[in-house]
Amino acid sequence: MNIDGENLVSLDDWKNHKKESNFSDYLKVLSFNDLMNESDSLMNQIKKSDEMDDLFSKTKLMMNEFTSRLEKESKNLAESVKDLKKQIEDKLH
């Protein structure tokens, strides 16, 4: 560890990374139908909530999982999802 703090990670950053990692692992074990249901639930949360940071993170992870699965089936469809993800990220930043 460096004295001036270069190797330190904030506790909040670590917690967020851990939470994202757990959610990503959860999405990977879902069937495609369950993944669709989870995305529908997330969309409902987005419509009702003002806490966009956590929901944005979950949305990114979910779209990554869709892209990962779709790449195995159709490159064109996966590219469409990637483009949609980029458009969403651009609008939110």
Q: What is the pLDDT along the chain (93 residues), one digit of tens a residue?
A: 445 566 777 888 888 888 888 888 998 999 989 999 998 888 888 888 777 777 788 888 888 888 888 888 888 887 888 888 788 777 666
Please state, in angstroms and rounded to a whole number, the distance separating the CA atoms of residues 68 and 24.
12
- Helices first, then strands: H and E counts in the chain: 4, 0
pTM: 0.63
- Judge whether 24 lies within some domain: yes
Q: Which residues contact 69 (CB under 8 A, 6 or more apart)?
A: 32, 35
DSSP string, 49-88: -S-HHHHHHHHHHHHHHHHHHHHHH-HHHHHHHHHHHHHH
**Domain total of the chain:** 1
- Assess contact for 76 and 70: CB atoms under 8 A: no
- Judge whether 27 lies within some domain: yes
- Judge whether 37 lies within some domain: yes
- Judge whether 38 lies within some domain: yes
- Judge whether 5 lies within some domain: no
- Judge whether 49 lies within some domain: yes
Residue found by looking up tokens 């190797």 in the block: 7
- Judge whether 69 lies within some domain: yes
Q: Give the range of the structural domain holding residue 72, as residue numbers without chain letter.
A: 11-92
- Judge whether 50 lies within some domain: yes
